[in-house]
Structure 1
Amino acid sequence: MKPLLYILCFMLLLGCMEENEEKIEQRFTVKLLSAPEVSQVGDALEFKFALEGNQTPMLLLENSTGPILFRPEVISGKATYRIEGKYTRRSGQYRWQLIANTERMLSGSFQLEPKKAPNKIETYFGPRSIRAGGTDYSMLVIMPTDVYDNPLSEGTQIEIVKQLDDKTSVAPAVLKDGFAWQLLYGEEKAGRMLVGASVNGIASKELTSIISPSNATDFTIVYERVHEFADGNQVISFKTDPITDRFGNVVSDGTLVNFIVTNTKGMRLQTSGTTLAGVATGRMLHPDEADQWAIEAFVTGEAKSQSISVSFVSSVADFDVIFSEDNRQMNIGPVIGFMDTLVPDGLQIQLDLYADSGILLETKTTNTQFGKGQFILEEGFFPNGTYKLKIQLAGLEKEFNRNLSSNEVE
């Protein structure tokens, strides 16, 4: 009986303790005395509560950076929670909860507004190069922030300043979602566009966009040369007039211009030049035989010139060919040019060698040196026999039928 009596007494004691704890919890109450609703970032805040009971609740404060717990200062049943300014530097909505024994007793929220005066203005601008004409644009994005790097309040007024040449214009903008933006168009005249922004007397840095000339328009070309002879030595120059766009702006320096030359054989030659102050120059050597050139110039995909014609006359009237006794060595020249002087070194001479049946066996080339050229037909490659020899020089042509023999020394 005694063990049973002990068990009953123990259970009765536990029941009394649980009833006492429930009565303690029921007697603890909290009443809100004061709490912030709207304030500014960086301000110290206070929460005050009236407590009835023997518990000390904690204040849980939450914002976008995470939760923080604060202990109160309790005097005569009044709990004061002081939030230092270092915990209120982020603008936006804050939520608070008063927690006792893991139970949420009270909760609420308040708003922290950013400082009204901006500390700095971040600006982003681009593209930094646009085309003239008034249809191309750069975008300016403005993000003013306070001393704690919070975006300023919605509706903050912003002034955007744009300068083109000596004309300055000011346009308003309104902050929304932390930033403002505006499209800034160029004009028909090429140059520089300077932009900036200001908020409540605080200015951003100056930004620049280059307004480049628009697409080139058709242009004209001319040629310059020292003489009309096809000596393969002198240089002929092709030059454009100043190339402009449709608004009269000279195209950007470095614009590539291709000069295409078509000769009487239908072959196409090319030279190119880049513009400086709108003018491009291309150069090419004279041909080494009489020819007729048709020249056009192009700015790829944008503009072209008219076609001009240039004629060249032969610089050589005639030339001599001297054969050795066995006809295996041919000495050409001295070749006299249009000034009754030796032709420049490097003038090409071509020899076409045909079999007696008319089949082309080989083509040899050489270049003049001191007005002369030479071909040697070695016996190991060209057996004795009759061959047709065709020699071409500066557009002139001579044909010979020669018997190649052995030059044996007895």
Structure 2
Amino acid sequence: MNTIETIQLETTQREFTAGESIILTFSGTQDASIKLYCSNSYGTTLVNSNLKNGSLQYKLPTQICAKIGVVTWKLLDKTNALSGTIKIHPQTTPVAMETYVGPPSIEAGDKDYTMLVVIPTDALDNPVKENTEVAVKRQFLAAEQQEIIPTKNLIAYQRLYAPSKSGRMLLATECLGLNSKEYTVEVMPAISTNFEIFAKRPHAYADGNQITTFTTSVLKDQNNNIVSDGSYVEFFITNTDGNLLKTSGMTIDGVATAKMIHPDHAETWNVKAYVTGISESNSISVSYTQVIEDFTVVFSKNNRNIEVGPLRSFMKQRIPDGLQVKLSISQKGKTLKEYIKESRDGFVNFELNPSIFSNGNYTLEITTAGITKTFQTKKLW
């Protein structure tokens, strides 16, 4: 007559601490060939028995004992389908804290935020137990504050919304006497609101030489923070003819500066500035007064040498070097050639080469400072 062995689990403990030695003892058999199947979230393994005092003992591997969670076991015996679970808890004292902060810069105001995630871990790199208190400390400008948040689903986390002022926020965490290192979050100014522009110039004459400087008021966001240095501002200038000119500058301490050379003839500019897609300025009008009312043209060397000048400015002084003078040469209503030169010492000279312009009558048109003089049927020989 065969007797069926009744195998029983003698170990009564069902919960352990990570790193603790775990031995499961079974009575009712001395068959050392029976293996124990173990499985947790990291994998599975088979454990051999050790016969001691008439019982089978199974010592779980270190890699299983070191990790928290549920361990499922099953005794691989054909006649006794014995199975169960044990639970491994983290050690009570954390030795390290994994801390993540991001993004590292946020926009001032009440909408943007950075996320702080803290994972306190024990000596075996297991997250501490649920509801362990983590202190989140932060310092911003003159204020310091601390909040307590519990761990949940192995982590502690918090959204840190941006204050209304810009500056640097310092963060640190603490868990059961263990402190993290210091973390930094930059609170940047938000986008600029509408602003004003101004024009500054040495005089109002259209001499084609001096510089008009355009500046903005201090660009600020809706919370009165000065915008970040390097914000790009474009100045669009519409002249009397409806043509569009553009200059630009970047902010330093909230103020952008751009420059534009004076026109060389009477002109009125309408100026407006933009931070593209974000904000805009008021419109200003800048007028320039004509400085050259007339100029002299002298022909010599068979009318092939043309001297324009002296070109005089608003105090009767010779115009600064660089004023453009254009000569247009046409014959029978057809433009043959155009030359553009810049003045030097108040004069411009044109030489008409006989190999290009044969003897004959031509129409010569000279333009400078918005003034045009036309010489009909001028004979070259």
With normalisation by structure 2, the TM-score equals: 0.91
2:14 counterpart residue number: 37
The one of 51, 60, 64 equivalent to 1:74 is 51
| Deviation per residue, 1:170-225 (Å, 9 max, x gap) | 22322222123222111221112222322222222322222222222222222221
The one of 313, 317, 321 equivalent to 1:341 is 317
| Deviation per residue, 1:217-244 (Å, 9 max, x gap) | 2222222212222222211111112122
Give me the identity figure in percent: 36
1:110 counterpart residue number: 86
Task: Give the distance between the partners of 1:35 and 1:68, measured in 2 at CA.
Answer: 22
Task: Give the distance between the partners of 1:178 and 1:87, measured in 2 at CA.
Answer: 19
1:375 and 2:350 matched: yes
Task: Give the distance between the partners of 1:83 and 1:397, measured in 2 at CA.
Answer: 103
Task: Give the distance between the partners of 2:271 and 2:369, measured in 1 at CA.
Answer: 22
Q: Secondary structure at the match of 2:252?
A: coil
Q: Secondary structure at the match of 1:34?
A: coil
What is the RMSD of the two structures over their aligned residues, measured on CA atoms? 2.4
Give the drift of 1:87: 4.2
Contact 2:29–2:56 at 8 Å: present in 1 too? no
1:405 and 2:377 matched: no
With normalisation by structure 1, the TM-score equals: 0.85
| Deviation per residue, 1:31-86 (Å, 9 max, x gap) | 32225300111001222222445554333332223233333332342233334655
Contact 1:128–1:208 at 8 Å: present in 2 too? yes
Contact 1:28–1:54 at 8 Å: present in 2 too? no
Task: Give the distance between the partners of 1:402 and 1:147, measured in 2 at CA.
Answer: 103
- The aligned amino acid for 1:387 is Y
The one of 231, 234, 238 equivalent to 2:214 is 238
- The aligned amino acid for 1:345 is D
Q: Which residues in structure 2 correspond to 1:201-350 (within 5 Å)? A: 201-350=177-326
Give the drift of 1:145: 1.8
Aligned residue-pair number? 381
Q: 1:334 to 1:303 in 2, by over 3 A?
A: same
Q: Which residues in structure 2 correspond to 1:384-399 (within 5 Å)? A: 384-399=359-374
Task: Give the distance between the partners of 1:294 and 1:370, measured in 2 at CA.
Answer: 32
Task: Give the distance between the partners of 2:40 and 2:327, measured in 1 at CA.
Answer: 93
Q: Secondary structure at the match of 2:255?
A: coil
Task: Give the distance between the partners of 1:361 and 1:134, measured in 2 at CA.
Answer: 68
Give the drift of 1:27: 4.9
Give the drift of 1:275: 1.0
Q: 1:303 to 1:254 in 2, by over 3 A?
A: same
Q: Which has the higher helix share?
A: 1
Q: Which has the larger radius of gyration?
A: 1
Contact 1:46–1:81 at 8 Å: present in 2 too? yes
Q: Secondary structure at the match of 1:318?
A: coil
Unaligned runs of 5+ in 2: none
Q: Secondary structure at the match of 1:305?
A: strand
Give the drift of 1:136: 1.8
Task: Give the distance between the partners of 2:132 and 2:353, measured in 1 at CA.
Answer: 95
Q: 1:281 to 1:55 in 2, by over 3 A?
A: closer
- The aligned amino acid for 1:111 is K
